[in-house]
Amino acid sequence: MIVAEEKQCSRCSKIKLLSSFSKDKQNSTGYKSACKDCSNLDFKKWRTENLDKVRQQDKIKMLVKKYNLTKEEAAVYANNRIGECTICKAETFRVVDHCHTTGEIRGFICSACNSMLGYAKDNIKTLEAAIKYLKEHYELF
């Protein structure tokens, strides 16, 4: 049996070496019908046209990996980005807040409040001291 070492791309119609095609067990030839170059161009075009969808999928993948969530749980967090910050009550873009010790998700808060907790290293005594300091130095305008 003679095995072909070249194949014609279904997109660009050029005859190329088999190494220019990705393998595909479902195709009778064992290779995809479009060459790698054309497939990459198709994917880049699709990605550009579906950027919001791609970003949403990337966010879900990151949440699954970082917080060990199911895809369904991660989708809930990824889809609820705009809302009220649990701390300052501002209606804004929210981030997922998590405990740096346990890795557990605590809820949704705005970036400013998340940074505040991070800079305070989640230390309640530091935050209480900051409140005391503000009360002592609070001036009405």
So where are the chain's domains? Answer: 6-42, 50-79, 80-141
Q: What is the CATH number of domain 80-141?
A: 3.40.1800.10
Q: Which pLDDT score is estimated for 2?
A: 54
Q: Which pLDDT score is estimated for 4?
A: 73
> Quick one: DSSP state of residue 20?
G
Cα 98 to chain centroid, rounded: 16
Q: Which pLDDT score is estimated for 138?
A: 83
Q: Which pLDDT score is estimated for 87?
A: 96
Q: What share of the chain is helix, strand, coil (3-state, %, to 5)?
A: 45, 20, 35
Q: Distance between CA 59 and CA 53 in Å, rounded?
A: 10
Phi-psi region of 93 (alpha: psi -120 to 50; beta: other; left: phi over 0): beta
Q: Which pLDDT score is estimated for 141?
A: 52
Largest CA distance in the chain: 91
Segments of the chain scoring below 50 in pLDDT = none
Instruction: Say which residues have a Cβ less than 8 Å from residue 27's Cβ, sequence separation at least 6.
Output: 33
Q: Which pLDDT score is estimated for 58?
A: 96
* Nearest residue to 38 via CA among 5, 3, 8: 8
